[in-house]
A and B are shown apart, each in its own frame.
Chain A
Amino acid sequence: MIELFQIAVFQDNLALSFFLGICTFLAVSRRIDTALGLGLALIIVQTITVPLNYLIHNYLLVEGAWAWAGLPEVDLTFLKLISFIGLIAAMVQILEMVLDRYMPTLHRALGIYLPLVTVNCAILGASLFMVERQYNFEQSIVYGLGSGVGWALAIAALAAIRERLSYSNIPKGLQGLGMAFIVTGLMSMGFSAFAGMQI
């Protein structure tokens, strides 16, 4: 379990080794406080949706899931994408309402980042990886949490570097997007050094 968590955070970091959620990763990493807000939103949503998608996939979609209803040969796995994205959109909406009702300060802190998370490929990607790698229920919880933490860590680190970069003299054409890519590449190299680390 701890090993799975460590792999999800460092070695298989969603942003740096699978390029998931890179659009938001680059767009929202100008300042560290907004980056932390988005990272927190992503951890929460990820930890909830990956296990829920596991339940949906294994009890509704997988071949033989409808055997109790007398339909043993029904295979609905082709509906995987549409049901996952539907669940993610619904969860984000519900989470937003719950937070607004019970934790208004956190809701204000997350602001617009919560709805943005719906179209972040990291969330859908983690659910699809969960299916592809055939995790069980506990593993899916750990993987959801770990991959969320890893993504948040990466975006917070990039935001910190980019805040410092504003003091440096960068060639005109490289400013902004170009530099962000190269910094991300360097970070990705750093994270690849965690490969094979044992705890």
Chain B
Amino acid sequence: MAGKFHQITDPVIQNNPITIQILGICSALAVTTSLANALTMSAALTIVLIFSSMSISLIRNHIPSSIRLIVQITIIASLVIVADQFLQAYAFDMSQRLSIFVGLIVTNCLVLGRAESFAIRNPVWPSVLDALGNGLGYSSILIIIGTIRELFGTGNLLGYPIFQTIENGGWYEPLGFMALAPSAFFILGFLVWIIRVFRPEQAENPDYHLRTGNEARR
């Protein structure tokens, strides 16, 4: 059981999909203006990821490898349509706020990346665990960024006031900058930095190894 537990916890910190594998960054940055958006997006992505890994792993022996990409995309797109329709039916406001980003789970590299690198070659149960772990890893980053942006951008958290803003007679001046696009890049950049300061092994030998220009020219 320890091994299986490891499979879930590993992608959360050690091999986080966003900070290490650089997968699924688009939505991670776009939907984190408030914590509620981030939570909804995390739930939608994790569910789609689990079901897509499960179904791809179930039929993995029947997919000819030449058309496997299109089969995977079709499965993922169908699941995303279900998630999108579900949100529109039960949480219409939220689906308006997330705008096109629920639909963009189709091209989220995280879902396709896990399908291609794990589910296509492994039995159902490990694939589900792997999907769950990666979904949690993705969610944890989204929740961190969402918390920072909402707390400092509006003084609220999930709509409840944490810092009393000046308008309401408090002391906190909201940072409008936090709601804008650049702040998401900065927060994620600094988050990556912090993680790598505490886990220097990630900075020394990252999986993808971004080369500097000098190395590239060699």
Q: CB within 8 Å of B: which residues of A? A: 16-23, 26-27, 30-31, 78-82, 85-86, 89, 119-121, 123-125, 128-129, 132, 162-163, 165-167, 171-182, 184-186, 188-189, 192
Contacts and interface: CB of A to CB of B under 8 A. Distances in A.
A172 B103 contact: no
Given A19-B29, A82-B77, A176-B206, A31 B182 contact: no
Interface string B26-55: 110110000000000000000000000000
A173 B22 contact: no
B137 interface: no
B125 interface: no
A172 B212 contact: no
A162 B213 contact: yes
Nearest to A182: B189
Interface of B: 19, 22-27, 29-30, 70, 73-74, 77-78, 80-81, 84-85, 99-100, 103-104, 106-109, 112, 180-186, 188-190, 192-197, 200, 203-204, 206, 208-214, 216
B106 A81 contact: yes
A130 to B, nearest CB: 10
Nearest to B73: A85
A163 B217 CA distance: 11
Contacts of B194: 173
The 3 residue pairs across chains A and B that have the minimum distance between CB atoms: A185-B185, A181-B189, A166-B213
A119 B109 contact: yes
A185 B186 contact: yes
A121 B104 contact: yes
28 contacts: A17-B181, A18-B181, A20-B26, A23-B23, A30-B216, A31-B213, A81-B77, A81-B84, A82-B81, A86-B74, A119-B109, A124-B107, A128-B100, A128-B104, A165-B213, A171-B193, A172-B196, A172-B200, A172-B204, A176-B206, A177-B22, A177-B210, A185-B183, A185-B189, A186-B182, A188-B185, A192-B181, A192-B182
Contact of A30 (B188, B195, B204, B210): B210
B101 to A, nearest CB: 9
Candidate in B23, B24, B196, B214 with the most chain A CB atoms within 10 angstroms: B196
